[in-house]
Every structure is written in structure tokens, then in C-alpha cells.
């Protein structure tokens, strides 16, 4: 039986059009999901949209349509983005679906039964933009004397009857869970941040609202709707069959292996969510990983600054796989990063066109011209051949632990070490010269290069699926051999296999056109 791997993106607020930050979170999950599938796992990759709450209700009002019409329209933009970015999710959940209402109400009822939810009254600060409550100590004064949340979002005073989740009772048990599971929050800086927040003492959390209607009704008290974060977080359970905890999907995929999130929402995922789950007697997630934020040419990305980067525009300008590569290569995953067109062009020209593209093109054209368009028959391998082939064969093994700690940039660097070594090997072996002096040796060298490129094509497949498939097509690698199980000798290129005519894979970008 294949080992299960359940991976989720946050579900996206539908008050806005998708931008580069949304594409980034899902891209990271897509690459991991593809890597795990190629590595033999049974993957369940979930994404979707967060459609309830005051923010969405207000956005619908501004658009002049009822909330349901509004969310139907905007949710579709996120599906379109997923298609455009070649994301391979297995399910797309919407929190306005019937299956989700059922799951939220079942979780709520469990928490009422265990005594972890009680009725009270809320009086405090709320930021609609963050859909979050803040204590007075967390607020700062804005330029016009208004109060601001730490995120910069304006807050408003809220006073209304509310149900509370007894979060204050879960501090020690949360700390116990973090201690017993050292990998449950990454990177380490976020883990420390979460732990000190919990150590600082937790207050009970308001989990229902009465001053607006757009949400999941509280069972047996329909004047209340559930706090949008309790509703939203539950999506991860809904999608694998909750409340049916005996279902095949739930028993297979729970607890979730990885919730990928941005650093802004780590507290919701690493504090509130495990507390809700543990209180309901359900296992908390295995890991939450919080990545950093992108700025645009040094500036915070925001609608009001008018500098939102639309993924569609980038893909149009530079090509899909180029964008997928750049986003995960440019910045150590987990850190903040800055998007600059000059860096995008530089990476495309140096690492894609010059390093990878050139290696593939010059090697395969030599095979095509000098080996009758078929995989050449190699002779005995020399030490130099083995020095290139062996790390190429071990690439997946090298990448596995890096991917498991979401170090995408390091996994890409490991691939590029082989690419650079292969280019050095071509220069040094000079197969074009061997053609005149030692044809059998030339065939060995070209075979070693073709085999190395096969390993590279497999390794880059999760990152750049379309282009890597094109590279593997040029080596006539059968589709069923495009998994890591075939990366070893059993999938090795067979001498004599006819190859299609080689084509360039990574065009150089003309800088003036930027």
C-alpha cells in the first residue's frame, strides 16, 4: 500500500483577485505534491476558497451583489489561476458547500459536548481585514489617532453576545504537543514565535458573531454564526470526509502531513487549529510550515499602492515554468523575498537558458547528429563518467530530506550542482573533438550526458512540469518511467532507442523587451 501524504494550501479569501502571494503558497504545495507522487506516495492535495465572514460580506456589498453570487464569481478566479499555473490539486473546496457546513456544525457540537465552547459576551477590538481579534496591548496608534492591529489593519470596537472557545485551558497541552513533535512547526523561527506566544498565556477565543449573517449558523442558536477562522480551518477536515471519521479518506489521510501557510497566519494554524482538534479528540496536524512574504521591487504589495503582481501577467511575459522556477529559486523558502524583473531575467538567462537549456540542447544535438538520432551504445565508464553519473543517480536521495523540510531552494541548488558539473564535463570531454579521434569514446560521453539529462529531467519535473516533460520526450522516456522508482538503473536509457529531433527548451530573454 502506498504511503499517504495529505498537503493543503490555505483557502483564499474571495474578497480579492488572486495575486503572486496566493500563487506562491499553492505553487510550493504543488511542487511537493508532484514530488511525493513521483516518489510513490498516495497524495491528497487540497486547495480552495474561504468564502464567509464580514470581509467577504462587505466586498459583496461594495460590488452590489448578494454574497453567494459574489463568491461564485470570485472563487472561479482562483480555479482559473490554478489551471493557469498548472497546479495538480486533487480537490478544490469552497466553504459555502453543503459538505463543509455539515463538518463545521459537527465539530462545533463536539466542542460543546466536551465543554470547550461556552456562551458569554465579547467586548474588544476586531480587524475585519485580518478577521482577527486583538488585545489592547497589541494595538498601536495610526497617523490620524485611529487604532491599528500589528498587521496595520484598522480595528473596530465590537460588543456582542458570543460563544467562546476555552483556549486558556489548552496552553500546557499545546506546549506538550510542540515539545513532543519537534517538526510540527517550521521554520524554527516560527516555531519559537508560536511557542513564546503560547507561553505568554492564552485567552479564551471568541468563536461566534451576531452582528452580521454571512457564515455557518451555530447549531441550536442560529442568531450566531461561527467565527470565520473556525469555519475556515475546518475545511481541512471536511475535505477528507469529516465528520465521518471512519471514512476511507479520513482514516487514510488524517492527520494532515502538511499545512502550508504564509507567516501571517501561522498562529491560526499552529495554535488555534491544534487546540480545536485536540479538544474535539482529533489528532492535530503533523506539520505546519510558514513561508515568507514577497515585496515588489522593494515595496510591500498592496492594492492601494497599485503594485499587485498578477500571476497571469508574469506567466504571459516570461513563461509558466520560468515563473514557477524563479519563485522557488530566488528566495530561501521561509524568508521574505523581493520580486524584481531584473532578477527574474537574470535567473532565466543564466540558470535556465545558459546552464540547463544549453546543456540539454548541445548534448542532444550532438546525439542527433553523430549517433543516427538514437541513444548511443556506451563503452566502459571512466572515473570521470562515474563522477558525473553517480551524483545524478543520487539526486532524488539528496533532494528527499530537503523537500521534507520545504527547503526548495536547496533542492534546486542540488540539481544545479549536477547541471554545472555536466556542463564542465562536456567542455572537458569535448565530444566534438572525439568524433574525429575516438568515436566509441564519443558515444560513451554522449550516453553519460543523455543519462544525466534524464535524471535532471526527472528531478526538475515537480518544479517545471511542462518543460521537464519536453526534455524527457526528447529522450523518449516512456511516461510510465517518469517516476522516482524508474530513476535508477531500471529506467536507464536503452542504446538504440530512436530519439525525436531535439528542440530548444529555455529561450533566452531579450533584456530590452522587459
* 261 lies in the binding site for ligand MSP (CB under 6 A): yes
Q: For ligand MSP, give the closer residue by CB, 22 or 94.
A: 22
Positions in 431-490 near ligand MSP (CB under 6 A): none
CB 351 within 8 A of CB 420: no
Q: What are phi and psi of 126, to 5 degrees?
A: -140, 135
CB 177 within 8 A of CB 184: yes
- Selected binder of ligand MSP within 87, 294, 484, 506 (CB under 6 A): 294
* 21 lies in the binding site for ligand MSP (CB under 6 A): yes
* 288 lies in the binding site for ligand MSP (CB under 6 A): no
* 308 lies in the binding site for ligand MSP (CB under 6 A): no
Q: For ligand MSP, give the closer residue by CB, 277 or 371.
A: 277
Question: How far apart are CB 288 and ligand MSP at their closest, in Å?
Answer: 11
Positions in 213-242 near ligand MSP (CB under 6 A): 232-233, 235
* 407 lies in the binding site for ligand MSP (CB under 6 A): no
What does the alpha-carbon distance between residue 314 and residue 306 come to, in Å, rounded to a whole number? 16
Positions in 318-377 near ligand MSP (CB under 6 A): none
CA dihedral 133, 58, 85, 231 (to 10 degrees): 50
CB 240 within 8 A of CB 6: yes
CA atoms 268, 269, 270, 274: torsion sign = positive
For 360-400, what is the HEC assignment?
HHHHHHHHHHHCCCECCCCCCCCHHHHHHHHHHHCHHHHHH
Contact region with ligand MSP (CB under 6 A), list: 6-14, 143-151, 163-171, 452-460: 6-14
- Selected binder of ligand MSP within 138, 160, 264, 473 (CB under 6 A): 264
- Nine-digit cell string for 177: 504537543
- Count residues binding ligand MSP (CB under 6 A): 19
- Selected binder of ligand MSP within 5, 6, 24, 326 (CB under 6 A): 24
Q: For ligand MSP, give the closer residue by CB, 178 or 293.
A: 293
CA atoms 193, 198, 200, 205: torsion sign = positive
What does the alpha-carbon distance between residue 10 and residue 28 come to, in Å, rounded to a whole number? 12
Question: How far apart are CB 29 and ligand MSP at their closest, in Å?
Answer: 10
* 408 lies in the binding site for ligand MSP (CB under 6 A): no
The size of the chain, in residues, is 514
Binding site residues, ligand MSP, CB under 6 A: 10-13, 21-22, 24-25, 50, 232-233, 235, 261-262, 264-265, 293-294, 301
Amino acid at each position: 500500500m502506498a504511503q499517504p501524504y495529505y498537503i493543503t494550501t490555505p483557502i483564499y479569501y474571495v474578497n480579492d483577485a488572486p495575486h503572486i502571494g496566493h500563487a506562491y503558497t499553492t505553487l510550493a504545495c504543488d511542487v511537493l505534491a508532484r514530488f511525493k507522487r513521483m516518489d510513490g506516495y498516495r497524495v491528497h492535495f487540497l486547495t480552495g476558497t474561504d468564502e464567509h465572514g464580514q470581509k467577504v460580506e462587505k466586498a459583496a456589498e461594495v460590488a452590489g451583489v448578494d454574497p453567494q453570487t459574489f463568491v461564485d464569481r470570485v472563487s472561479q478566479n482562483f480555479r482559473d489561476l490554478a489551471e493557469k499555473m498548472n497546479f495538480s490539486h486533487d480537490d478544490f473546496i469552497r466553504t459555502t458547500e453543503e459538505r463543509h457546513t455539515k463538518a463545521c456544525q459537527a465539530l462545533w457540537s463536539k466542542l460543546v459536548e466536551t465543554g470547550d465552547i461556552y456562551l458569554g459576551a465579547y467586548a474588544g477590538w476586531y480587524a475585519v481585514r485580518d478577521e482577527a481579534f486583538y488585545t489592547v496591548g497589541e494595538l498601536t496608534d495610526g497617523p490620524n489617532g485611529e487604532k491599528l492591529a500589528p498587521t496595520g489593519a484598522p480595528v473596530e470596537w465590537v460588543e456582542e453576545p458570543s460563544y467562546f472557545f476555552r483556549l486558556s485551558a489548552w496552553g500546557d497541552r499545546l506546549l506538550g504537543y510542540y515539545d513532543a513533535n519537534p517538526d510540527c512547526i517550521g521554520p524554527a523561527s516560527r516555531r519559537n514565535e508560536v511557542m513564546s506566544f503560547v507561553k505568554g498565556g492564552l485567552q479564551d477565543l471568541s468563536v461566534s458573531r451576531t452582528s452580521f449573517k454571512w457564515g455557518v449558523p451555530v447549531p441550536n442558536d442560529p442568531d450566531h454564526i461561527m467565527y470565520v477562522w473556525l469555519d475556515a480551518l475546518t475545511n481541512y477536515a471536511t475535505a477528507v470526509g469529516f465528520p465521518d471519521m471512519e471514512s476511507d479518506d479520513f482514516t487514510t489521510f488524517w492527520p494532515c502531513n502538511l499545512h502550508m501557510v504564509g507567516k501571517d497566519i501561522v498562529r491560526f494554524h499552529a495554535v488555534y487549529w491544534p487546540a480545536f482538534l485536540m479538544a474535539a479528540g482529533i489528532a492535530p496536524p503533523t506539520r505546519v510550515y510558514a513561508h515568507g512574504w514577497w515585496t515588489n521591487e522593494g515595496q510591500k504589495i498592496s492594492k492601494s499602492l497599485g503594485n499587485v503582481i498578477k500571476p497571469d501577467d508574469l506567466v504571459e511575459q516570461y513563461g509558466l515554468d520560468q515563473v514557477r522556477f524563479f519563485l522557488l529559486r530566488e528566495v530561501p523558502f521561509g524568508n521574505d523575498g523581493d520580486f524584481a524583473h531584473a532578477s527574474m531575467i537574470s535567473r532565466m538567462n543564466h540558470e535556465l537558458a545558459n546552464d540547463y537549456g544549453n546543456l540539454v540542447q548541445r548534448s542532444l544535438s550532438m546525439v542527433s547528429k553523430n549517433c543516427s538520432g538514437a541513444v548511443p551504445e556506451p563503452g566502459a565508464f571512466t572515473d570521470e563518467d562515474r563522477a558525473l553519473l553517480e551524483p545524478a543517480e543520487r539526486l532524488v536521495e539528496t533532494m528527499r530530506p530537503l523537500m521534507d523540510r520545504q527547503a526548495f531552494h536547496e533542492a534546486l541548488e542540488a540539481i544545479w550542482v549536477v547541471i554545472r558539473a555536466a556542463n564542465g564535463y562536456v567542455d572537458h570531454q569535448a565530444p566534438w573533438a572525439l568524433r574525429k579521434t575516438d568515436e566509441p569514446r564519443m558515444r560513451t560521453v554522449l550516453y553519460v550526458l543523455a543519462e544525466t539529462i534524464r535524471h535532471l529531467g526527472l528531478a526538475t519535473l515537480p518544479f517545471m512540469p511542462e518543460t521537464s516533460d519536453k526534455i524527457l520526450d526528447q529522450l523518449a522516456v516512456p511516461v510510465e518511467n517518469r517516476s522516482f522508482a524508474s530513476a535508477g538503473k531500471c529506467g536507464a536509457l536503452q542504446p538504440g532507442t530512436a530519439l525525436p529531433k531535439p528542440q530548444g527548451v529555455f529561450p533566452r530573454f531579450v533584456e530590452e523587451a522587459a
